[in-house]
């Protein structure tokens, strides 16, 4: 039984809290949030203790693991404190928005040797993983092209957008930058990106890019396309297509039901799941389980600090390309 | 080059006329219709001669084949005349509505030895045929259950319905009665049928059955279900499902395009093709081609008078069951 | 927080035990099984107490609800005891195999007034329910035909089959008999059934029917077809199709992933989920939740003893028809 | 009745010849090919006259239209001769491989005023066209992203490849460059392209690019992605996806049948149609019909010389980008 402290009671926090609470080998002991009232509400649901001071939980010798769900710019300090307290760490993506900070985290992790995992949950989606495994099993031969569609139904609130310019790279496509590395078992050597502001000023007052297309070349030669939007009105559109010498694999979207409605105007199926937390519910569960099994067996958690660093490097180079209008080289 | 005479310029006649005209090895020489004006209109389109007197065409020694597209009750007399004139015959289904008449046709065909084909066009649909071939190839092992859905978008006009009571058996499901024999390579030994009048009296003033479910047992043991309706508002719904010891096969519907429209209300695809002539355009073409190849090579056309007789026997027994409410035995 | 006693640690028991354990408002206090070792193993996983004597749990005043997962012939006695002990009851289907026993249960339930629910879990499947709701919302107008395919990948072990002759009616299609009542909000007035033994004697040594087709007429006029098999080698095949005056609804199958694999031999998707517990995992969860909410709010649980009785009546009439070869009337 | 002369009896020639022969308002009078034997074989099938000298046909006053199916580098001279002879021209794509030549064609067309059409047949595919019409009807609001997948199952023979370096741009993606202009009703202002040689030297001895990804920005702001390969082993993969402010449209692939095969290893559907002539059979028919209707009604044919010129300009800029590794600007 691993006792957890969860830091950050908003947004994705309750998802992880519920998964910890439901896991047979885990227990949620603490919920920490600067907003004590939020911490208390979530803690009450899961039978945990609440505090606004992370120190309280880190001082609890029963706590073995910390889940970090706070805004990205706060991650590094929490990683530092948790690592020095000897806790295993599950950190939501991105690790940070600055490479220097990620490097600092890498150093403290190396010094302390605590288990560390970055929450690139999509790797744990059953269909994406089946696609990954089919590539590894050689089903499509050498992968030659990879196409990722990664579209959110809605843009984040203006203050969230303001706090993270080019968030479509740092917060959204960073998932795809991780996926392409994982799926192809390869690193990009070049990135070219173009962005646009397609939303109305009312929806996107800061005119931060809300639409993007990216092209990458990988060290082993594959070509990759990523597209992203913050306005897929038809739902959370998440598809992957891998093309290779021997075939093609497609990981499709999810719908609430499989009902088909035949009427005189055609055949209608459900809209896609709208909310990423519904779409990836199963992957969040499986990711936590993988983390718990790693901690229990003293194995390395599946996605390490270097994975977090590499995804951020790609995002950074993508932003550089989008700003300059020319391709940017990356070191494989 | 085979020269054809087409009898019956209405409804399905123009489909066969166009297919003859477009076929490299066929030529339409005559169009016969009691309504001379109809005959002339169709003949003009295809460069054929028109007449209201079948004798004109049968006397033409260049005519090698006759296509019969007139109402069912007129088929027997035309078959008789055409056979005695030594012409090959392509007769639309059903051969007739009375077994005695079909038997009379069988006798004249036996005497004259002319090639004869019944127009159960569905056997020539590429997907239905692929299903048939997969069964023959043993892909699903022994067939155990067969399910046929055979639904028209609209009921025929009242006078057509009045002229053929229980037309849902004699005119519509007779296709399915042929298909089940062909797909299973077997004969039914029992039929049970239930019908209903679901349409409003305005649409179905004669209160002839417009909805039916049928169950059959085959000599080799398979169980068969057929359902039919004259009001599939979503289009011409034609599906076949074959279940066996080693798997299951499904022949699905056809749509005009494969466009998928994703909106906030869901994913929409085209309605099914509405008109049987569109749905089965390819099967009519392939059927005519098979007939022409048989006549040219002096082989037996694919669907003979006995097939027409057997399908009618099943329809007749089905009507008897629907009227009596009890299962009716059939001789395999 | 409702404390549960679960009776019957085999087969479906662990599913309900896990769902109780994971439910925020429920706790599993007791696991009862004549095989004490089975009870202990399951109890240990959920932090419950184990016993081979139901009396132990019924005497526990903290226990508010009993879940009955034992073989059908034992249900009536357990219902009687639990009802007299004042416990709410969640009883797996079928309530019993004899109408007289179900009637006895109905009497004790009426006397004691305890909440009672029959586990027809399929009503809680999200897609089946969406189909149900679409019918209720009038989306297809008056329902005219209903087609249920209900196929298991494997037959039960010989001793299980021997203990319940015609189990394909009493144990499998009883789900469909419940579904057709619920979906159509109507009762059947006639049933006709045909069965076959398609499996080899090695798989089905008792030659109990392993394949069945059933046709029913409903009081309001709809026609219903049910087909069932104990050898769907391609997985657990569970489909519903509702046809009406204004359209058609289809509830389809479930697969582990949505991966599409394109190769030179075609496009391949996952096999269907094989095990009913995987296929209906979500419906079992939702069913338990509905029961808990009913007990908590002192509302009637969703599926009552009369539903259990009606489904059994249909099964019984179906067996009578299958044995006699003629349709059997039912009182609506 | 329009009488045609077809120039070029190889490859795509027989497709157009058969469509002319089958069209009610057209007649194939001449087949011209430098290889007289090829011309004769095709002419014999369609009842046309054969010659190796285009002059023979151009001198025939009955010939109203010429279809040009010869290799691209011969188009300009034939266009010049046909235009000066006053014939309507249907020219296969690309018009030429050099802009200067296309400009020369444009001049002679302007001088002579003969009807001219470039064979970008994909515009006539029913599903692609339905997608186009849905965009025009405002179904997805402003188009924001367009994704075209355009993959051939096989590379052309080495001598064909040698004769047209960067043929993946000039011969294959030129279709997509036309489609994106037509679908978006807009012109690109920038193109970025990356190519690769993924095939073995045995298949691609000239190491001409066999795989490509392209990104374009349109004048009105939309972002476009095109990918192409000469080795889609699973068939001729032709998909279009249009994403906009109000929804998303997908035009999918075509298969020979819709049969679904359910086995223990999953659900299998047909491979995609393999040959572009099968995939686009209907679009070739509709394209010819549109050309005939235009000529008959003295309207402008649907796709003019400027369309051919623009598509070539995009291809040329794409090659320039692929060679230089940087984006290339285009004049809208």
Which of B198, B215, B229 minimises the CB distance to C194?
B215
Predicted pLDDT of residue D68:
98
Interface of A with D (CB under 8 A): 142, 144-145, 147, 149, 151, 192, 194, 196, 198, 211-213, 215, 217, 221, 223-225, 227, 229, 231-234, 237, 243, 245-248, 325-327
- B88-92 sheet: strands from edge to edge: B49-51, B26-32, B2-7, B63-68, B88-92, B116-119
pLDDT at residue B11 in the model: 86
Residues of chain A that touch chain B, judged by Cβ-Cβ distance less than 8 Å: 233-235, 237, 255, 262-272
**C-alpha–C-alpha distance, residues C158 and C206, integer Å:** 7
Beta strand segments in C111-264, E: 116-119, 143-151, 188-196, 211-218, 223-229, 237-244, 247-251, 260-263
Residues 6 or more apart whose CB falls under 8 angstroms from that of C152 comprise: C172, C228, C229, C230, C231, C232, C236, C276
- Say yes or no to pLDDT of C332 above 80: no
Nearest to A233 by CA among D243, D247, D139: D247
pLDDT digits (tens, 9 = 90+) for B151-175: 999 999 999 999 999 999 999 999 9
Which string of b and e fits A211-237 if b means at least 16 CB within 10 Å?
A: bbbbbbbbeebbbbbbbbbbbbbbbbb
| Contact present, C151 and C119 (Cβ < 8 Å) | no
**Predicted confidence (pLDDT) at residue A332 exceeds the cutoff of 80:** no
D251: nearest CB among B131, B254, B259? B259
Q: How far is B145 from chain A (nearest CA, A)?
A: 24
* Rounded average pLDDT over A90-107: 97
Banded pLDDT at C331 (limits 50, 70, 90): confident
* Cross-chain Cβ contact D233/A247 below 8 Å: yes
The structure's pTM equals: 0.96
Q: Is the separation of the CB atoms in C218 and C254 below 8 Å?
A: no
Q: What is the pLDDT averaged over residues A12-23?
A: 93
Beta strands at B328-329 and B188-196: parallel, antiparallel or unpaired = antiparallel
The CA-CA-CA angle for residues B172, B178, B181, to 5°, reads 145
pLDDT tens for each residue of C26-61: 999 999 999 999 999 999 988 899 999 999 999 999
- The encoded tokens of residue A205 equal 């007052």
Whether residue C258 is predicted with pLDDT greater than 90 in this model: the reply is yes
Report the mean per-residue pLDDT for chain D. Answer: 97
Structure confidence at residue C282 (pLDDT):
95
Under an 8 A CB cutoff, do C263 and D269 touch? Answer: no
Average pLDDT, stretch D254-266? 96
Check CB contact under 8 Å for B250 and D257.
Answer: no
**Which chain B positions have a beta carbon within 8 Å of A270's beta carbon?**
266-267
In chain A, whose CA is at the least distance from the CA of B268? Answer: A268
Q: Looking at chain B, which residue has its C-alpha nearest residue C143?
A: B198
**Per-residue model confidence (pLDDT) at position C11:** 86
Please state, in angstroms and rounded to a whole number, the distance separating the CA atoms of residues A247 and D234.
Answer: 6
pLDDT band at A11 (very low <50, low <70, confident <90, very high): confident
Q: What is the mean pLDDT of residues A207-235?
A: 98
Residues of C in contact with A253 (CB under 8 A): 258
**What's the residue count for chain C?**
332
Task: Spell out the alpha helix ranges (H) of C59-125.
Answer: 75-84, 99-112
Mean pLDDT of A77-98: 97
In total, the C-beta contacts within 8 angstroms joining chain B to chain C are: 94
Please tell me what DSSP assigns to residue B156: P
Q: What is the DSSP string of A230-293?
A: S--TT--EEEEEEEETTEEEEE----S---EEEETTEEEEPPPP-SHHHHTHHHHHHHHHHHHH
Q: Do B262 and A272 touch (CB under 8 A)?
A: yes
Nearest CA to CA, how far is B239 from chain A (Å)?
A: 14
User: Cα-flanking dihedrals φ and ψ of residue A267, to 5°?
Assistant: -105, 125
Query: Residue A317: pLDDT band by 50, 70, 90 thresholds?
Result: very high
- Of the candidates B24, B247, B261, the beta carbon closest to that of D261 is on B247
DSSP string computed for D180-236: HHHHHT--EEEEEEEEE--S-TTT-TT----EEEEEEEETTS-EEEEEEES--TT--
From residue D149, alpha-carbon distances to A111, A115, A147, D29, D252 in Å are 48, 42, 10, 38, 10
Residue C22 has pLDDT above 90, yes or no: no
b/e map of A87-111 (b: 16 or more CB within 10 Å)?
bbbbbbbbbbbeeebbebbbebbee
Position A190 confidence tier, pLDDT thresholds 50, 70, 90 = very high
Cα torsion A158, A164, A169, A175: sign: negative
Q: Nearest residue of C to residue D153 by CA position?
A: C264
Q: Is A249 within 8 Å of C260 when comparing Cβ atoms?
A: yes
Q: Among residues A304, A248, A277, A309, which one has the least CA distance to residue A17? A: A277
CA–CA distance, C244 with B210 (Å, rounded to integer): 13
Q: How far is CA A199 from the centre of its chain?
A: 24
How far is CA C72 from its chain centroid?
A: 12
CB distance D249–B259 less than 8 Å? yes
Q: Is there a contact between B261 and D22 if contact means CB atoms under 8 Å apart?
A: no
C213/B215 CB distance under 8 A: yes
- pLDDT attached to residue B262: 98
Give how far C27 is from chain D: nearest CA, Å. 39
**Interval C273-295 mean pLDDT:** 95
Residue A15's closest CA among A83, A88, A92? A92
Residues of chain B neighbouring C240 (CB-CB closer than 8 A): none
User: Residue A93's closest CA among A285, A330, A303?
Assistant: A303
Question: How near does any CA of chain C get to the CA of B245, in Å?
Answer: 7
As a whole-number percent, the residues of chain C with pLDDT over 70 amount to 100
Per-residue H/E/C for D258-300: CCEEEECCEEEECCCCCCHHHHCHHHHHHHHHHHHHHHHCCCC
Give every strand in the sheet of A26-32, ordered side by side: A49-51, A26-32, A2-7, A63-68, A88-92, A116-119
Contact between residue A245 and residue A221 where contact means Cβ atoms under 8 Å apart: no
**CA–CA separation, C45 and C14 (whole Å):** 10
- Pairwise CB contact (< 8 Å): A259 & C131: yes
> Contacts of residue D249 in chain B, CB cutoff 8 Å?
259-262
Q: Which residue carries 């009182």 as its tokens?
A: C331
The shortest C-alpha distance from B207 to chain C (Å) reads 15
Residues 6+ apart with CB under 8 A from B7: B32, B33, B54, B57, B66, B67, B68, B69, B70, B78
Residue B149 sits at φ, ψ, to 5 deg, of -110, 125
Q: What is the mean pLDDT of the segment spanning C251-262? A: 96
A vs B, Cβ pairs < 8 A, gives: 55
pLDDT average, residue stretch A149-161: 96
Which site among A227, A245, A269 would you substitute to test the D interface, given the most D Cβ atoms closer than 10 Å to its Cβ? Answer: A227
Q: For residues D196 and A144, is the Cβ–Cβ distance under 8 A?
A: yes
Cβ separation of C233 and D271 shorter than 8 Å? Answer: no
DSSP H or E run through D27 = strand D26-32
Nearest CB neighbour to D263, from listed C233, C237, C262? C233
Write the burial class of residue D204 (CB in 10 Å: 0-12 exposed, 13-18 middle, 19+ buried): buried
Element (H, E) at D133: helix D126-136
What are A29-55's pLDDT values in tens digits?
999 999 999 999 999 988 899 999 999
Task: Say which of A247, A257, A264 has its CB closest to residue C127.
Answer: A257
Q: For B317-329, what is the mean pLDDT? A: 98
C102: buried, middle or exposed (CB in 10 Å: 19+, 13-18, 0-12)? buried
What is the number of other CB atoms lying within 10 angstroms of the CB of residue C136? 10
Which candidate from D22, D251, D259 shows the least CB-CB separation from B131? D259
The model's confidence at residue C216, banded by pLDDT at 50, 70 and 90, is: very high
Average pLDDT, chain B: 97
Per residue in D262-293, pLDDT (tens digit) is 999 999 999 999 989 999 999 999 999 999 99
pLDDT at position B22 is 85
pLDDT, tens digit, 9 for 90 and up, residues D103-136: 999 999 999 999 999 999 999 999 999 999 999 9
Yes or no, beta carbons of D232 and A248 under 8 Å apart:
yes
What is the DSSP-derived secondary structure letter of residue B221? S
| Mean pLDDT of the region B96-119 | 97
Verify cis geometry, omega within 30 degrees of 0, for the bond prior to B178.
Answer: no
- Using the beta-carbon criterion (under 8 Å), do A247 and C259 form an inter-chain contact? no
Q: Which residues of B touch C227 (CB under 8 A)?
A: 145, 147, 223, 225, 243
Cα–Cα distance, C173 to D105 (Å, whole number): 73
A40 or D1, higher pLDDT: A40
CA-nearest residue to A21 within chain C is C22
- C98 Cβ contact partners less than 8 Å away, ≥ 6 residues apart: none
Report how far residue A249's alpha carbon sits from residue A138's, in angstroms, rounded to the nearest whole number. 12
Tell me how far apart the alpha carbons of residues B288 and B119 are, in angstroms, rounded to a whole number. Answer: 9
Nearest CA in chain D to B140: D263
Residues of C in contact with B213 (CB under 8 A): 145, 215, 223-225
Largest CA distance in chain B: 67
C-alpha–C-alpha distance, residues A299 and A291, integer Å: 9
Nearest residue, CB atoms, B194 vs list C194, C211, C223:
C223
pLDDT of residue A331: 86
Question: Could you count the other beta carbons within 10 Å of the beta carbon of residue A43?
Answer: 23
């Amino acid at each position: 039984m691993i006792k957890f402290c969860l830091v950050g009671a908003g947004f994705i926090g309750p998802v992880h809290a519920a998964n910890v609470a439901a896991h047979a080998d885990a227990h949620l002991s603490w919920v920490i949030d600067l907003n004590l009232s939020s911490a208390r509400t979530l803690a009450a649901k899961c039978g945990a203790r609440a505090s606004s001071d992370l120190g309280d939980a880190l001082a609890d010798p029963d706590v073995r693991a910390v889940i970090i769900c706070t805004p990205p710019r706060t991650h590094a300090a929490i990683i530092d404190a948790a690592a020095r307290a000897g806790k295993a760490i599950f950190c939501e993506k991105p690790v940070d928005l600055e490479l220097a900070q990620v490097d600092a985290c890498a150093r403290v992790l190396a010094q302390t040797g605590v288990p560390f995992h970055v929450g690139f949950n999509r790797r744990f989606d059953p269909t994406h993983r089946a696609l990954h495994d089919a590539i590894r099993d050689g089903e499509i031969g050498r992968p030659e092209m990879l196409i990722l569609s990664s579209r959110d139904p809605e843009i984040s609130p203006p203050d969230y957008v303001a706090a993270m310019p080019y968030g479509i790279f740092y917060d959204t496509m960073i998932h795809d930058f991780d996926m392409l590395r994982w799926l192809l078992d390869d690193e990009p050597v070049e990135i070219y990106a173009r962005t646009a502001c397609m939303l109305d000023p009312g929806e996107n007052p800061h005119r931060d890019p809300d639409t993007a297309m990216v092209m990458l070349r990988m060290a082993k030669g594959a070509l990759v396309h990523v597209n992203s939007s913050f306005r897929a009105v038809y739902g959370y559109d998440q598809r992957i297509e891998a093309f290779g010498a021997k075939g093609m694999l497609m990981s499709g979207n999810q719908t609430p039901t499989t009902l088909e409605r035949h009427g005189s105007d055609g055949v209608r199926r459900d809209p896609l799941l709208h909310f990423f937390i519904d779409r990836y519910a199963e992957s969040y569960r499986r990711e936590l389980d993988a983390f718990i099994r790693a901690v229990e067996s003293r194995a390395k958690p599946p996605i390490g600090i270097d994975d977090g660093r590499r995804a951020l490097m790609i995002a950074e180079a993508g932003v550089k390309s989008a700003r300059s209008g020319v391709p940017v080289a990356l070191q494989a």
